[in-house]
Amino acid sequence: MIVIENRPRRVEVTVYAEFTLADYQEFENAVNYVIQFEGQVDLFFDLREMADFTLDVAWEDIVFSRAHAKDFSRIAVLTESQWVAWSAWLSQIFVEAEMRVFDEEVEARAWLAEGEGEGLA
């Protein structure tokens, strides 16, 4: 299950329990909407409550990331799991965004706030 919040030039996602393909597609729709109307977007992923994810989510993430390589400015991943941190680092290969992994929400939000206004034409 996911909860998505749209903010100006940012999509915030919190994942609970298993991250499924239906959840990921909901995320994609939210991001595509913001990109269409606002341009480049920041992402905030809170994965502290994520239990696991399905293999089709991992594949969809690769496909989506490659298709939107230039559409993200900053990506903050909030997690306490080393495995999730490693997989986030690996997915950075497919996007040109600045990506960081955090274990403290305050630090993640502060870092995203520092980048607000970057990439605006």
From the centroid of its chain, how far is CA 94?
A: 13
Domain membership of residue 121 (yes or no) is no
Give the CATH number, domain containing residue 28. Answer: 3.40.50.10600
Predicted confidence pLDDT, tens digits, the chain (121 residues):
999 999 989 999 999 999 999 999 999 999 999 999 999 999 999 999 988 888 888 888 888 988 998 999 999 999 887 766 656 665 666 688 898 889 999 999 999 999 875 544 3
Domain containing residue 14: 2-114
Tally Cβ neighbours within 10 Å of residue 33: 13
**CA 94/CA 4 separation, integer angstroms:** 23
Residue 86 lies in a domain: yes
Q: Is residue 120 part of a domain?
A: no
- Classify residue 72: in a domain, yes or no: yes
